[in-house]
Amino acid sequence: MVVNSINFWLFFAIVLIPYFLFFKRKEGQNLWLLAASYIFYGWADWKILPLLVAVTGVFYALGLAIERHNHSRPRLASQLTTVGVVLGIGILFYFKYFGFFVEEMSALFAAFGLPHCSRTLNIVMPIGISFFTFKLMGYVIEVHRESIRPTRDVVEFATFIAFFPTILSGPIDRASTFLPQLGQRRRFSESDFTEGLKRVLWGMFLKMCIADVISPWTDAVFGNYAHHNATTILVAAVLYLLQLYTDFCGFSEMAIGVAQVMGLRVAENFNRPFMAKNVAEYWRRWHISLTTWITDYVFMPLNVGLRHWGKWGLYVATLVNLVVIGIWHGANWTYFWFGVYHGLLLVATTALDKPRKRFEKRHRLKDNELYAWSRRLLTFTLFAFGSVLFRSASVHDFLGTLSRIPHGFGPLYSEEFSTIVVYALPSIAILFLREWSAEYRRNVHFLHARRTWVRLFSIALLICYILYCGQLEGQSFIYFQF
Amino acid sequence: MKQLVLKSLAILALVAAIDFCVGAVSRFVCTHLSDKLSQIGTIQQTLLRKTGDVLVLGASCAKYHYDPRILSDSLGLSVQNCGVAGMNMIYSDLVMQAYLERCHPHCVVIDVYGQLDPNEGRLSRIKPFYGISRPVTAYFNSEVGWQQRLKLCSRLYRYNGTLDLFLRHLLNEPNTTNGFAAKPALVSRMDTVVVSHLQLDTAKVRHFQNVVSLCRRHEIDLVMVLSPRRYHDIEQEAWIVEQSRRYGIPLINELHESLYYSEDSLFFDDSHLSGRGAALFSCRVASQLKSFLSNSRKGTR
Amino acid sequence: MERKEIINQLNGIFADVLDLDEVNLTGATTADDIEEWDSLSHIQLIVAVEDAFDIKFSSLEIMKWANVGQMVDSIERLTSQA
């Protein structure tokens, strides 16, 4: 059930009306929300629902136990935290990486002529597992670090984990910001309601007018790369990065918006990544809820632990950080190399930081717009290149795709490209106009204009635009597979 | 709260107004397209305008393989190619019904291969003709879910995605108006691949049976054809042969004719012939069709 | 060592590492208050503080800090042990 479907809105209406009208206390609201979330998740994958309920119970108990022993028996508290992290990673490993691991091992055994089993395991990965296990692990670590106090209300905790707008594909929320909100009764607020719906509308625009319009064409190119020339491959790389952004940002906007309608603030996930001037900044603006999670729980401990190695400690931590982000996406060597690629870029960015600043000072480039835009272009290009690796089904396919580039330029693959020219390009222009104006704080408002009639007109026009130009036959989201 | 309701109503009214205006303009354009070989042009012509003694139904194979000039010269009848790339049996059935409202064809040639696959294809491209063409309207009213019908109330939804079709129609050169398009020849070598994984969509099978019964009821000669292809599913072929036997429909099977496979340039890709291949194919189909038709005339007399 | 004394010394270390002219830390100062104080310079700060006071923090301790005051608590505790 995706947000851009009639079924979802029926479901949401059924959830929302009693949520505000009948439940006058937070306990009732939380219980109702939890029931709705379990039904929602069960709808997507009912077989995994018992697992979700069970791990929720285990982590709830772990949280309480860690707090009890944090001061009296710090060693036990550390061990309990380790149990939580190992359990979280174990679940993730079993469903996401075990099949791949076994296959790679048997291939390795076969290469050395050792006995091996060639049977492939068919473990179906439950949807959303990468998102909720991260929430669970973050919770116990935070309790151990004493940055939050564990909740005693099991319904509250389960609602935080299974919260239906975010369970399938994030944003990965933090207990420190989300649990306190569940600790209070939510009242209907007109501004939350309208702002939430506007974000949903914007998310639909991103998803249906850009991502889904582009995807048939990029699928055709990458699915058949051997038949395409350099022009087509390069255009496809650029379009695929835009597709990836609008697909995932579109989903996040819808999730955040739906939560806001219910009076709940969810973590932000994107902050205009294409306005980033270097790779480090890009990563701070892209899939923020994941990158901050990994920064807090992987990068920082490593970095602190390796602090006496000087800058090499930082480089190692950076590389590991990005490789973890890469393989979080799935069991495939392409994601591993995607992480290595970005890790090296980030190390280079960090190493060149001081010389760059000196260069900028010497040439007084701080407020030079041309310089800023060429940096943005460079960053975008580096990410577009990385996105080809991300898109490829295997490293072999990636190298195959790259090997098409020296074959020379030629006419662009034009089958169905007219849909991109007619629908995607104007939509991309609208997207960039909005992001550019927000970045430079210019007063180009669409949905947030000060005059009421301008605002109403923009909303009506955007709805009509989506209906007339959007790709309405619902397609799945890229990040559902992670 | 009152403000919120008022604003929502204002947005709704604005959307309805834009919906109505865009709908009226699009409907006018849809019914007044000039004769060109663009996708929407072909759909409009086959659903609303064209007539012919012999109809060729099907998807891309029909469109790229059957040259009506060759067929018409040989048979001495007017021939219309109704193939639209990416369509399926549901479309063929609707076209058949639309033709029967305008004229009475003598013969229907149907290129069945691939038309019964579960994939949706480009069937949604007939949405603009909801409310214009009777068979299309009837199809949506009786066979799609309530959600789809609810969406069809919006004209913006109905004409969703037509903007680039109109533009492509505008940019398309005026061309032959018999529905045929020749494809360029293949550049690289290609091998024949044989697979076996037939999947049938029950709704599409029902529409196939409807075409068969419509032809029976109106005493129209129905002929099935299997075009040559480099990528083919033996189960699908077997299914088609079985249908031909079951309903007593003559079948022209060109799938195994070695003439087509002697030269790579007769193909455009693994499942379509090039212009030269189409010329050869049309000649062969025309002569076989001629003998079928003369036999059936004798039979009825 | 007095808390005030520690904060004074920290002001110098922070100004040095973050390349700023002047830093005025209080117990409630957090990384959000100083633009140059990001996750990268954070580590440099810790190393510099450890060297200056000749102490060694545990990793968990570092992770628990929410503001400068808690960092000062750790320094106080470790220097009094020495």
pLDDT digits (tens, 9 = 90+) for A124-157: 788 889 999 999 999 999 999 988 999 999 999 9
Q: Mean pLDDT over residues C29-42, rounded?
A: 83
Percent above pLDDT 70 for chain A: 98
Contact check, Cβ <8 Å, A423/B10: no
Q: What is the pLDDT of residues A10-46, one digit of tens each?
A: 999 999 999 999 998 999 999 999 999 999 999 888 8
Contact check, Cβ <8 Å, A473/B124: yes
Label each residue of chain A as H, E or C: CCCCCHHHHHHHHHHHHHHHHCCCCHHHHHHHHHHHHHHHHHHHHHHHHHHHHHHHHHHHHHHHHHHHHHHHCHHHHHHHHHHHHHHHHHHHHHHHHHHHHHHHHHHHHHHCCCCCCCCCCCCCCCCCHHHHHHHHHHHHHHHHCCCCCCCCCHHHHHHHHHCHHHHCCCCCCCHHHHHHHHCCCCCCCHHHHHHHHHHHHHHHHHHHHHHHHHHHHHHHHHHCHHHCCHHHHHHHHHHHHHHHHHHHHHHHHHHHHHHHHCCCCCCCCCCCHHHCCCHHHHHHHCCHHHHHHHHHHHHHHHHHHCHHHCHHHHHHHHHHHHHHHHHHCCCCHHHHHHHHHHHHHHHHHHHCHHHHHHHHHHCCCCCCHHHHHHHHHHHHHHHHHHHHHHHCCCHHHHHHHHHCHHHCCCCCCCCCHHHHHHHHHHHHHHHHHHHHHHHCCCCCCCCCCCCHHHHHHHHHHHHHHHHHHCCCCCCCCHHHHC
What domains, with CATH codes, occur in chain C? 3-81 (1.10.1200.10)
Residue A329 annotated in active site: yes
Q: What is the pLDDT of residues C60-81, one digit of tens each?
A: 888 888 889 999 999 998 988 7
Residues 420..449 of A with a Cβ closer than 8 Å to B: which?
Answer: 421-423
Q: One of A329, A396, A407, A445 is an active-site residue; which one? A: A329
What pLDDT shows up at residue C27?
87
Q: What is the pLDDT of residues A406-454, one digit of tens each?
A: 888 888 888 778 888 899 999 999 999 999 988 887 766 678 888 888 8
**Chain C residues with CB-CB distance to A301 below 8 A:** 59, 63
Subunits adjacent to chain B (3 or more Cβ pairs under 8 Å)? A
How near does any CA of chain C get to the CA of A152, in Å?
22
Contact check, Cβ <8 Å, B3/A190: yes
Contact check, Cβ <8 Å, A6/B160: no
The reply to whether CATH 3.50.50.60 applies to domain B2-300 is no
User: For residue B4, what is the nearest residue in chain A, using CA coordinates?
Assistant: A190
Q: Mean pLDDT over residues B224-242, rounded?
A: 91
What pLDDT shows up at residue A124?
78
Q: What is the pLDDT of residues A25-34, one digit of tens each?
A: 999 999 999 9
Q: What is the pTM of this model?
A: 0.89
Checking if the pLDDT of B45 tops 60, the result is yes
User: For residue B12, what is the nearest residue in chain A, using CA coordinates?
Assistant: A460
What pLDDT shows up at residue A76?
95
Nearest to A204 by CA among A481, A441, A464: A464
Q: What is the pLDDT of residues A333-343, one digit of tens each?
A: 999 999 999 99
Contact check, Cβ <8 Å, C43/A78: no
Q: Mean pLDDT over residues A52-59, rounded?
A: 96
What pLDDT shows up at residue A117?
66
Q: Mean pLDDT over residues B97-117, rounded?
A: 92
> In chain B, where are the structural domains located?
2-300
| Position B175 confidence tier, pLDDT thresholds 50, 70, 90 | low
**Chain A residues with CB-CB distance to C46 below 8 A:** 304, 307
**Chain A residues with CB-CB distance to C47 below 8 A:** 307-308
What pLDDT shows up at residue A96?
87
What pLDDT shows up at residue B301?
43
